[in-house]
Every structure is written in C-alpha cells, then in structure tokens.
Amino acid sequence: MITLYSYPGLYGLEDNNPYGLKIYAFLKLCRLPFDHRHTLDVQSAPRGQLPYIADGDLRIGDSDAIIAHLKRQYELTIDDSLTPEQQRQDLLVRRALDDLYWVMSYSRWRDDRYWPTFRRALLDAHPDVTPEQLEAARQYNFQRYHYQGIGRYAPEDAYARGIADLEAIASLLGEDGFMFGPNPGSVDAGIYGFLANIYFYAIDTPLKQCLVARRNLVSHCNAVRAELG
C-alpha cells in the first residue's frame, strides 16, 4: 500500500501545500489505492521536505520524483500519449509552477495584509497547532524568502511574478479540456495543486484576483476536482 505523507488540509482541500495536493490528485487520477497521512513532522521525510510517499521499503520525496517512481512501478499510462513537444511543455509548466510556489507562499506567510486571515484559518482548522508554532514557522519562512530572493521584492513586484506565471499557464491551457487533450495528465494534477490552493482559499490575494478573472483557469480547477471522485 502506498502511503502519502503531506501537510494538513485547509479550506476543504486535502492538503494546504500545492505539491502535496499535486500528488494526492495524481494518485486519484490514476486510481491508485493509497493511505493519506497528514503531518507537520519532516524528520522522517527524504530531504526534510513534504510531501513524500512510502511504497514498500522505499521513501521517496520531491513531487516529480514521486510521480516518476509511480509511473515506473505501476506501469501507469497517464502520460503515454504526449508528444516530445508536449513533454517539453510539461517541463516548462512545472518550472513555472515552481516559481509560482514562492509567490503563493509569500502571500500567506509574509504579506501582512493576508497573514492574519491565513493564521486564523490554520488555528481554527487545526486546534492542535499553537500560535507559537505558527510564529516560529513564519520566521523560518522569512529566512527562506530572503535567501531564495522573493523576500527582497516589494509586494507588487513579487505578485507580478506570480501573475505572469498564471497568465502563461492560462495561455497554454486553452479554453476547453485539460492541458494536452480531453483527459487529464500528470501536468494537470500539478496545475490543480496550485490553482486549488489559490481558488478555494477565502483570501483575496492578487493571485486569486488574477485566477478568477481567467475563465479557463477556473474551469480547469473545477474539472480536475470533479475527476478526483
């Protein structure tokens, strides 16, 4: 049995981290049975990061590495129809999502306009989490943002990066179906992990304003969620 270890959920989502939700969606789309365990403990995680999976004696971290393993191990055909050009587009979309991650995280933990709402949502949804733990996590994230670079941006410049990522994905996505046709692929699981973590949050960040203004992003988010069953 595959076990997915990821952060707790929020706002009705199964994971409040886009990479954990990406793996959750991928497993669901592939109809692979799995056990989902929510945790904040990264001590046992490969690379000290969530999400990760346990599959037999293997412990595998990094969302792309997890998907590559699952495809090999279970002979999954979800992406078999992709052309070489589509495979390259898949990679570029995933890299754009990696950039978007930092802006999304910044909006939750760093921006004083949205931090109180995010903080209250976490405390209300997870009474075992203390205000002291959240403040420690916030200070840790401040350090991450500084060294990654996004923490040195003015807020409007940070959001401009994330909005550009969303607009690029929207332009590639088209108006109907999923990224590469009528059936969802692994890239759609990745896009969903991010879009859902913006769209379903009751926090009106510039990222959400951008997303809701683009019909195809909203349609894609709802379409993938409907596929998860």
Token pair for residue 207? 């990222």
Supply the pLDDT for residue 113: 97
Ranges of the chain with pLDDT below 70: none
Cα of first residue to Cα of last residue in the chain, in angstroms, is 20
pTM of the prediction? 0.96
Q: In the prediction, which pLDDT does 176 show?
A: 75
Cβ-contact 187, 71 below 8 angstroms:
no
Q: How much is the pLDDT for 51? A: 96
pLDDT at 167: 97
Kindly report, residue by residue over 113-166, the tens digit of the pLDDT. 999 999 999 999 999 889 999 999 999 999 999 999 999 999 999 999 999 999
Residues in the chain: 229
Give the pLDDT of residue 48.
85
The pLDDT assigned to 5 comes to: 96
Angstrom distance (rounded) from CA 97 to CA 36: 23
